[in-house]
Structure 1
Amino acid sequence: MVRTVVAGLDGSAESLAAVEWAAREAKLRGLPLKLVHVWEPAPEPIAQAPLVGAETQQHWTERIPREATEGVRLRHPGVDVSAEQLAGRPSEVLTRTAKDAELLVLGSRGMSGVGGFLLGSVGLAVVARTEGPVVLVRAGEQAADEHAMDPAGIPSAASPFRPVLLGLDTDGPHDTVIEFAFDAALRRESGLRVVHGWNPPPYYAYGIPADLGLHEELAKQRAAALTEVLRPWRRKFPTVEVVERARYGSAAHHLVDASREASLVVVGRRIRHSPFGAHIGPVTHAVLHHAAAPVAVVAHG
């Protein structure tokens, strides 16, 4: 079976931005693009109401995927694109569809006046339950946003890609997340910035005076640990220029700040089969809501 890039489509501005990003990614990967339009049937009394009658239903189930598919073919010649209409609860259908996908791309509304995301219940549920990579794209995201400034100081799709940004926990690094980030940088012919946030031992919080020498030693240890984790990946991807940053403080804060200069942010999520709801981890949760670039959440064991 040929793997595909899948984009969730519902006709909203955020889903159309996701479709555009997914088309560009499909071209980078040399893979087909599938647009999945999920139609959630309305309860019978509502379905029979005049405002949501046969004409409106036909619009949502036929016109939106058709127009989106035609638009991709026009703007991205060479990308093999198809559309599929499925009925059911969007979070369940998209999670199921993602099982056979190379990655799933979803839209997320940009926060008014601030870069970042408003991650709705569907997006959160899909991210928390999908075991493959899921990319969240803001409404209004443009191809130029992924690229560096041109000589005139304007972002341009003709300029090189901005670097890929990877958030890495050296205490529990996972190959799946690291490889996704290196591969994304390689395909974009861009650099890779790796950020590791660290905090001092717990006893710092209990009134024990901070020792400047100890702090510096901890910083060196964290930086050395980061270098050691990345060493085999530098050898595997020798053409990817890597910049390492082991920084004191919140990893989420550092990633959100660095996302302003990134083409893509990559974070991990541990797979948990819990009956008590969705869990994506505090750092990933914060990055999803506040990053200024598309975010790839890569699940790992």
Structure 2
Amino acid sequence: MAARLRLPLRVVHASLWEHYEGSMPSFTSRRPAEEVAAQHIVASSEQRARQLSPDTQVNAVTVPDDAVDALVEESRGAAALVTGSSGRGAVKGLLLGSVSLAVAGSCRLCPVVVVRGEERNIKGMSNRVVVGVGEADEAATAVRFALREAEARGCELQAVRAWRAPQQPTDPLIVLDSAARAYEEQAAAVLDEVLEEAVAEHPQVSVRRTVLEGPAADADLLVLGTTRRQGQFGLQLGRVSYTARHRAACPVAVVPHR
């Protein structure tokens, strides 16, 4: 992402060993194992980043703080915050690590991208960014982020607005069909409203509008908007964002509405 957008990359490893070690007397000249491990992680990550993108400015640091607190603080002034998906074992495809989930649910200042899914999606082989369009007054920031990503990747943007027909119509043959058409037309109108201004700012991006009843198609990145409620604490992920974070087969970006 940093290389595509020609931005500097800051690699952060949060570790509390400095806090605990600094408060205890030292009885040996040997460096603590935690310090050695933290410095190895930072050095190897920086080397890997430079190998992948020699032209990108890379700064790697170890921060003496809790991982979630450190990453949320690092998000101040960042274009995006990127974390891995660290589920383990038989439920790896369903669960996020606690750090990824907490950061995604609490970061208010910039988009949070969780890198997960199949290798072909992570490597950008689908040639498509998908943005889920929610309510018109909350979707603009997510749409602009998705357009920027699609432009940087040189790929198509698929804007998706999902709808649901009534589950228990009084007349299954007539009411369901007419209601479905009404829901579909309403969803299409929301798409047009949200996309009109943003698409004009990125005329080189091919945008495909999709109104459907069901999940979005395969993608290299799924972008979803979310609203952080002032005065509320804890995780603030809507049902769609929460489910996508756990089950999507590609990287997921949650973009706070501004």
TM above 0.5, yes or no, is yes
Equivalent residue letter for 1:167: G
C-alpha distance in 1 between matches for 2:113 and 2:183: 34
Q: Map 1:30-49; keep pairs closer than 5 Å.
A: 30-41=6-17
TM-score scaled to structure 2, two decimals?
0.84
Q: Structure 1 residues 83-92 or 107-116, which shifts more?
A: 107-116
Q: 5+ unaligned residues in a row in structure 2: which ranges?
A: none
Q: Map 1:194-209; keep pairs closer than 5 Å.
A: 194-200=159-165, 204-205=166-167, 208-209=170-171
> Please, which of 179, 186, 189 is the counterpart of residue 214 of structure 1?
179
**Could you say what secondary structure the match of 2:146 adopts?**
helix
- Equivalent position SS for 1:271: coil
Q: Is residue 164–residue 191 contact of structure 1 (8 Å, CA) maintained in 2?
A: yes
* Greater CA drift, 92-101 or 211-220: 211-220
User: What is residue 138 of structure 1 aligned with on the other side?
Assistant: 116
In structure 1, distance between residues paired with 2:180 and 2:118: 42
State the Cα RMSD in Å: 2.7
* % identical aligned pairs: 30
| Amino acid paired to 1:75 | L
Asked if structure 1 preserves the Cα contact closer than 8 Å seen for 2:164 and 2:183, the reply is no
Shift of 1:234: 2.5
- Is 1:28 the counterpart of 2:1? The answer is no
CA distance in 2, matches of 1:114, 1:288: 13
Query: Where do 4+ consecutive residues of structure 1 move more than 4 Å?
Result: 110-117, 139-144
Task: Give CA deviations for 1:63-83 in whole Å, capped at 9, x if unaligned.
Answer: 211122122222321111111
CA distance in 2, matches of 1:72, 1:139: 20
Q: How does 1:45-56 map to 2 (within 5 A)?
A: 54-56=31-33
Partner Cα separation in structure 1 for residue 202 and residue 151 of structure 2: 8
Higher alpha-carbon deviation: 209-218 or 289-298: 209-218
Structure having greater relative contact order (Cα 8 Å, sep ≥ 6): 2
Identify the residue that residue 97 of structure 1 maps to in structure 2: 74
Q: Where in structure 1 are there 5+ consecutive unaligned residues?
A: 1-24, 149-161
Deviates more, 1:163-172 or 1:85-94: 163-172
Contact 1:99 1:130 in 2 (8 A): no
Cα displacement string for residues 28-87 of structure 1 (whole angstroms, at most 9, x for unaligned residues): 11111111110023867xx99xxxx83412322312111221222223211111111111
